[in-house]
Structure 1
Amino acid sequence: MGLLNDLAARGQAVWLDFVDKKFLAEGGLQKLVDEDGLTGVTSNPSIFEKAMGHGDAYDEELAAYDKANPGAATIDRYEHLAILDIQAAADILRPVYDRLDSKDGYVSLEVSPYLANDTDATIAEAQKLWAAVDRPNLMIKIPGTPAGVPAIAATIDAGINVNVTLLFSVEAYQSVALAYVEGLEKRAARGEPIDRIASVASFFVSRIDSKIDDKIDAGVGGDAAKALKGKVAIANAKLAYAWYQDFIASDRWQALAAKGAQVQRLLWASTGTKNPDYRDTLYLDTLIGKDTVNTVPPKTMDAFRIRGTVGDTLTENVEDARKVIADQEALGLDLKGVADTLVEEGVASFSAAFDDLLGAIAAKHPASV
């Protein structure tokens, strides 16, 4: 039992922000489950691009698929490989899912980033991937864009677990939390079960500090703003969690809870520090709280085992967090504008990674369209 296991006692789950065929086959994920209490896995186009686009680990499976499906489209070739990885990860995590009675043990697979601004196409893609993977402990990742919000509600309504991604502002988080509730309410109104439907809201952290810190370094806000370096992202996350606590105490949520609904957990994403001046466990140490998830890259996970600190930090100094957010606004750091930019950049980044991924797969023999 180590520091990562200690987080479970505080009500926080640890998920791995990584998936790779070789890692799964060689027992890497199982080891983390057994030794560190890991309870979930996330993927995204950037992760798959690194896994599939480099080396030859996937070549044998790809060749077999191509032989059975001559002339298959590149997107279909990618989905075949991704689905195999996701199924393998889901099967490893299935005992966790069963032990925790569907409260955890999930693996996430993202809809195509090309669909981020298309509600109907996102809904259709979510249903297609859900059927193809065919595992109850799958979560479909849908971006929390304006087009994604109604897609989230519809996907939950269809009984599909959802990991909402690319959330940077409290307001965006509130929208997707209410979309989750809307989906559950529609199911409940039809008399359909809601007790085994799960969702997380992936709230990004380090990218906010990177943008805000760059503004401060460029002179925005003057000397007064320097005291806010490395503080805005954590404050933003704490205020999101404070809203969550208020919301689950509301009559609207309690009506669903009485029917067995699971809370939509806040998931802290982008938790590897990007500024070398900050301690490498910063976004784990400061965001520990009940009913949350921290999705952690392997390097940050290794660091936390050695020098992480565990405490109920998410609910500490919330009034200080409110002051940080008020001060950044008064100093012109424009967190709202930063959050809007980061959503656009996130969609573009995942689309570019998807371009690279499909290009790498298309280039592998035998060539396909």
Structure 2
Amino acid sequence: MLPTQTLHEAGQSLWLDYISRELLESGRLAHYIRDLAVSGLTSNPTLFDQAIRKGHDYDASIAREAAGGLSPELLFFRVALEDLTRAAALFRSIHERTRGQDGWVSLEVSPVLAFQQPELTVEQATMLYAEAGLPNLFIKIPGTPAGLRAIEESIFAGVPINVTLLFSTEQYLAAADAYMRGLERRLEAGLSPEVRSVASLFISRWDKAVEGQVPESLRNRLGIAVGERTYRVYRELLESARVRRLLSEGAPVQTLLWASTGTKDPSAPDTLYVEALAAPDTINTIPEKTLLAFADHGRVGPLLSHEEWESDEVLEEFKTAGVEVEGLATQLQHEGAESFVKSWMGLMASIARKSEEVRAGQLGV
């Protein structure tokens, strides 16, 4: 049995953090689902920007949609949903077999909205989910302070949400609270609480942020420690009276998801974060390169337990070394949101440029 399959059998879902038209048309995604136990997929503006800017796979779709005079933003969502609709179809049987727990794909709202009024995010999330018409589509909303209200309102509106850009236990708890408030409001309104969500905790960016600033003994340990601590709180939350009440009413659990689990340090094992964060009842969304590395030479050792912990001691060592974890979490979330905005603006510029080429008759399709 391949390590990816062993991890799946242990209770952790593996999602691919990558999408492109070539991935779909080559049959690689179908292969990963069939042979590597991949059971979901996430996308973000950076992935689409790279695929559209560096190749020609999207030229025909852009040309077709540009002829309708759509704005770059609406044109992008139309093109992205073409890919995600095909991917969602590949995961549909998993989604149905697991009764909605697995088999999801994700599409992100405009990251520009992460700093704006939550009403705009809710409006776009609702529009995208309705237009897609896919039962296994998550809409990604950043768990920024402005995003939390949008998450609650979107859940209340019945839109499945992937809460992204979470970096700390405290940010995770705030996202979980927003999700539960949305469900509780649905129950009060006589609506079904069966609206799903995942909470995406970013891992590797922690270690990149403190690289060269802490003793060698702490190298590449901060992201894992934050993940372990958050997993403990996640398991404790599942046992809380509030969650038990929601479950008794038919609500699903908001699943903890590990994001940004590709190794950024070339001197570290390329499967570092996947092996360290093997945990039941979680999801790990990993880059294609990391997926292939783990399938080839990964190892599934002891699973994370919510009863035995070293994370508190490790985090205390970082504090002694001068790292203020919660302040750094706020900084990382802000920088992550800014990075997504930068990618989004680059993506809009690429689409606008190709649209102009269509109008000028310069885009060969």
TM-score range, shorter chain: over 0.9
Does the 8 Å CA contact 2:113/2:121 hold for their aligned counterparts?
Answer: yes
Distance 1:210 1:340, change over 3 A: same
2:216 counterpart residue number? 226
Cα distance in structure 1, aligned partners of 2:251 and 2:5: 26
Residues 318 and 332 of structure 1, relative CA distance in 2, 3 Å threshold? farther
Residue 50, structure 1, aligned to residue 42, structure 2:
no
2: distance between equivalents of 1:39 and 1:194? 24
Distance 2:259 2:8 in 1: 17
Distance in 2 (alpha carbons) for counterparts of 1:25 and 1:82: 15
1:145-164 superposed Cα distances (whole Å, 9 cap, x missing partner): 00011111111111111101
Segment drifting more, 72-81 vs 237-246: 72-81
In structure 2, the residue matched to 1:219 is none
Q: How many residues align?
A: 357
The secondary structure found in structure 1 opposite 2:309 is: helix
Residues 66, 72 of structure 1: 8 Å contact kept: yes
Number of the residue aligned with 1:328? 318
Aligned to 2:239, which of 226, 238, 249? 249
Report what 1:24 is aligned to: 24
Secondary structure of the residue aligned to 1:165 is strand
Residue number in structure 2 paired with 1:296: 286
Kept in 1: contact 2:16–2:41 (CA 8 A): yes
Within the candidate set 62, 67, 70, 1:72 is matched to 70
* Alignment check: 8 A CA contact 2:15 2:38 kept: yes
- Aligned positions of 1:98-109 closer than 5 A: 98-109=96-107
Residue identity matched to 2:163: V
Match of 1:124 in 2: 123
Query: 1:95-145 deviations in whole A, cap 9, x for unaligned?
Result: 111111111110000000110022111111100111111101000000010
Are 1:268 and 2:266 matched, yes or no? no
Q: Is the 8 A contact 2:231 2:306 kept in 1?
A: no
Distance 1:163 1:58 in 2: 26
CA gap of 1:53–1:319, structure 2 versus 1, over 3 A, is same
Inter-partner Cα distance in structure 2 for 1:272 and 1:6: 19
Structure 2, unmatched stretches of 5+, are 361-365
3-state SS, counterpart of residue 215 of structure 1: coil
C-alpha offsets along residues 302-343 of structure 1, whole Å, 9 cap, x if unaligned? Answer: 110122111343227843111111221233112222211111
Give the superposed CA RMSD. 1.5
Q: Which residues in structure 2 correspond to 1:276-287 (within 5 Å)? A: 276-287=266-277
Q: Deviations over 1:325-365 (max 9, x none)?
A: 12212331122222111111111111111111111111112
Assess if the C-alpha contact under 8 Å between 1:271 and 1:296 holds in 2.
Answer: yes
- Structure 2 length normalisation: TM-score? 0.94
Whole-angstrom CA distance in 1 between matches of 2:306 and 2:71: 51
Measured in 2, the distance between the counterparts of 1:54 and 1:358 equals 14
- CA distance in structure 2 between the partners assigned to 1:180 and 1:332 by the alignment: 34
CA shift for structure 1 position 64: 1.8
Q: Which amino acid aligns with 1:366?
A: V
Residue type matched to 1:79 in 2?
F
> Is the 1:53–1:356 Cα contact (8 Å) retained in structure 2?
no
Match of 1:221 in 2: none
1:6 correspondence with 2:6: yes
Q: 2: distance between equivalents of 1:75 and 1:251?
A: 42
Answer whether contact 1:140 1:163 (CA < 8 A) is retained: yes
**CA positional deviation for 1:201:** 0.7
CA distance in 1, matches of 2:313, 2:9: 30
Indicate the residue corresponding to 1:222 in structure 2. Answer: none
- Offset at residue 183 of structure 1 (A): 0.9
SS of the residue aligned with 2:162?
strand
* Range 314-323 or range 257-266, more displaced: 314-323
From 343, 350, 358, the counterpart of 1:366:
358
Quote the Cα distance in structure 2 between the aligned partners of 1:312 and 1:201: 23
Letter in 1 for 2:34: D
> Given residue 126 of structure 2, which amino acid in structure 1 is its aligned partner?
Q
Q: Which amino acid letter does the alignment assign opposite residue 2 of structure 1?
A: L
| Cα separation, 2, equivalents of 1:317 and 1:134 | 41
Match of 1:238 among 182, 206, 228: 228
Query: Is it true that 1:138 corresponds to 2:130 in the alignment?
Result: no
The one-letter code matched in structure 1 to 2:158 is G
Unaligned runs of 5+ residues in structure 1 are 217-224
Q: 1:92 aligns with which of 90, 93, 97?
A: 90
Instruction: Single out whichever of 33-42 and 186-195 deviates more from structure 2.
Output: 186-195
1:39 Cα deviation from its structure 2 partner: 1.0
SS in 1 for 2:358: coil
**Percent of aligned pairs sharing the same letter:** 39
Structure 1 position 165, deviation (Å)? 0.5
